[in-house]
Chains A and B, each alone.
Chain A
Amino acid sequence: MALLEEPIKEVRTLKNFIGGEWVESSGQLVDVVNPVAGQTIARVPISTKEELDAAVEAAKNAFPDWRATPPVARARCLFRLKELLEGCFEEISRIQTQEHGKTIDESRGETRRGIENVEVACGIATLMQGLYSEDIAAGIDEYLIRQPLGVFGIIAPFNFPFMIPLWSAPYAVATGNCVVIKPSPEVPISQTRLAELTEEAGIPPGVWNVVHGGGTVGNAMLEHRDIVGITFVGSTPTARLVYQRCGDTGKRVIAQGGAKNFMVVMPDCNVDRTIPALMTSFFGNTGQRCLSGANLVIVGEDDSFYDNFLKRVAEAASRIVIGYGLDESVQMGPLRDGEKKARIIGYIESGTREGATLRLDGREDFNIVGDYPRTCFLGATIFEHVSPDMRIGREEIFGPVMSVMRARDLDHAIEMANANPFGNGHAIFTSNGGYAREFRYRVISGNVGINVGIVAPMAFFPFSGMKESFFGVLHTQGQEAIRFFTESKVVIERWF
């Protein structure tokens, strides 16, 4: 199909958004590259610690007025932001495809979920209401008020450039806090566009700040004494580090890490509906999501079910249309960059070395729609005879690789999933309510899918995670985010 028009037509140098001003950074500039053809589409600064300090200072200065702004007035800013986002829906979606490589359907899905978080935060007037108990003792009343805390830092990953900061920022701002967002320097453009819209929506200067950069800015956020809390999404080692360092500096923290999600297929599943769900789960976003399926566990000792099911999975995977996401026929885009592809190829090689059988080799067995270099592209890969102790069965690959295992029965499948250190988004495919309940009840996973392969919670539910997939107590999105971004102040009152 013909390509949709690219919204980014010229290379511009991005600036930081500090105190309502677009400020040029003194840091080194790095190319932002569209992974499809390796074309530079922007230059992003690797900002300095001083620039982060300036953003935090601006946020700190904006905080007193913003927290004193009535919640309904704050909500109106968010309503305006939602309207502006709807107006720019297609532009923002296409920017994501250009900067990240994901398909246009995936980008639009990301835009929608981001907007949904803004919508939920628009209900702040009721969401942050407190509690009141009259006569807790003779003539004494007790009540709870939720108060904002100050400045929060949001550190974002590369895989969902637009949406993930919106798991946090609308709630932080709605509750009266100010934010400093550090987008991934690999995909900073949609966050820049979002910041432009916050300005247009009337969010006051200093409430919403963006500082581009890498480790220097991230580290400075963790150390900064005026940042009261951090939300982070990224790999497990970094999430653990963020959690520890926030503990050291007394910050509250939500640190979401990696995953190794088990998709458990029972022989009684609806095969026709399960196959597309698995394609989306394993190969959607080119496997670069913490809710991607990683291990496909086919349950039972019925060899014919196993063979037939896997044959259909492999056929479907081999037919995935690969190319530039602005071609609407494309089902899977490239990986974010060649380095990530090399890392995944390392996993594929390790799988072969450890004795797994390569059923579909994504290194070679694929075609690209359009005339693009193969630099960042990788086809769907399927391994059979994987055991949970192999690297490809144990570690997060973060690419389009399916590791197929067999389990004797449901108990065995649950044991396998629970033995893995991660617990983010396991799912079961079955037509049996008893199996589904058993799985939901026993599996150690923050998000659980029943005939759903991407267990992405709606904006009004928390984005949960367990074990090595999450460090913290409260989660992003919905009511839990409201609690995270507010302090509960309890008042006990008596009048003489």
Chain B
Amino acid sequence: MKVQTASATITFARTLESESAEFYETLSQKHPEHKDVFLSFARENAKNVAQIERAYYGVITDAIEGCFAFNIETDEYAFDAGLAEDSGLSDALGRAVEIEGKILKFYSDAVEQSKPLMADVPRAFEAVAKRRRGRRPQLEHTSEASSRRESA
């Protein structure tokens, strides 16, 4: 689906954050030894949504190109948040890296496309993208720690 309005883009961002938060909440239950990391991601997702919405609601006025600001093809950022019953932690972490990559790409594209909007909106997208960039090393660290534990 193509998304062109600011409103629909914000809703899409909310959906990505919400679905990935659910994914991490599920992981925290399946792998309680890493629940701190997974739940911190889920909590951060809620903050991301709040930051983006605050920026959007704060600057949207009748003067900006809100209805013509974006050209987002949502299928490009779609991800599968489901995990097979018998999947292990390494599968889950692999999926998490994949999900983060998709969402990061969305935010990077959104930063570029939201430039016609007032600065706060691209700045909010950039701030969220920056936080998300920090997740990959954390996921890799979790994976390494898990491998070490298994080999020990």
Contact = CB atoms under 8 A, between A and B. Distances in A.
B66 A109 contact: yes
B63 A454 contact: yes
A440 B69 CA distance: 26
A411 B58 CA distance: 39
Interface residues of B, number: 22
A106 B4 contact: no
A105 B63 contact: no
Given A105-B7, A328-B8, A329-B3, A113 B67 contact: no
Nearest to A1: B8
B83 interface: no
A456 B6 CA distance: 19
B61 interface: yes
Contacts of B65: 276-277, 279-280, 284, 453
B8 to A, nearest CB: 4
B6 A105 contact: yes
B5 A330 contact: yes
Interface residues of A, number: 34
Contacts of A1: 1, 8, 11
Interface in A326-348: 328-332
A43 interface: no
A276 B69 contact: yes
Contacts of A103: 5, 7, 67
A333 to B, nearest CB: 10
B55 to A, nearest CB: 12
A494 to B, nearest CB: 50
Given A109-B63, A112-B59, A329-B3, 4 more contacts: A103-B5, A103-B67, A276-B69, A328-B8
12 contacts: A1-B1, A105-B67, A108-B57, A108-B60, A160-B62, A276-B65, A284-B67, A289-B62, A329-B5, A331-B67, A452-B63, A454-B64
B8 A329 contact: yes
B67 A332 contact: yes
A170 to B, nearest CB: 16
A260 B4 CA distance: 28
A328 B5 contact: yes
Interface-centre pick from B5, B57, B67, B69 (highest chain A CB count, 10 A): B67
A279 B65 CA distance: 8
Given A276-B68, A279-B68, A284-B67, A328 B62 contact: no
B116 interface: yes
B60 A112 contact: yes
Given A1-B8, A328-B8, A113 B62 contact: yes
A106 B116 contact: no
A110 interface: yes
Contacts of A332: 67
Contacts of A285: 62
Interface of B: 1, 3-8, 11, 57-69, 116
Nearest to A457: B63
B117 to A, nearest CB: 10
Contacts of B64: 109, 280, 454
Contacts of A321: 4
A116 interface: yes
Contacts of B6: 105
Given A103-B5, A280-B68, A328-B7, A109 B116 contact: no
A144 B63 CA distance: 36
B62 A106 contact: yes
A329 B67 CA distance: 8
B31 to A, nearest CB: 34
B57 to A, nearest CB: 6
A89 interface: yes
Interface string A75-119: 000000000000001000000000000011110111011001000
Given A273-B116, A331-B67, A456 B61 contact: yes
B5 A109 contact: no
Nearest to A327: B8
A58 interface: no
A328 B60 CA distance: 14
Nearest to A277: B65
A331 B4 contact: yes
Contacts of A273: 116
A110 B62 CA distance: 5
B5 to A, nearest CB: 5
A109 B8 contact: no
A280 B67 contact: yes
Interface string A441-473: 000000000001111100000000000000000
Contacts of B68: 276, 279-280, 316, 331
B2 to A, nearest CB: 8
B78 to A, nearest CB: 15
A109 B69 CA distance: 14
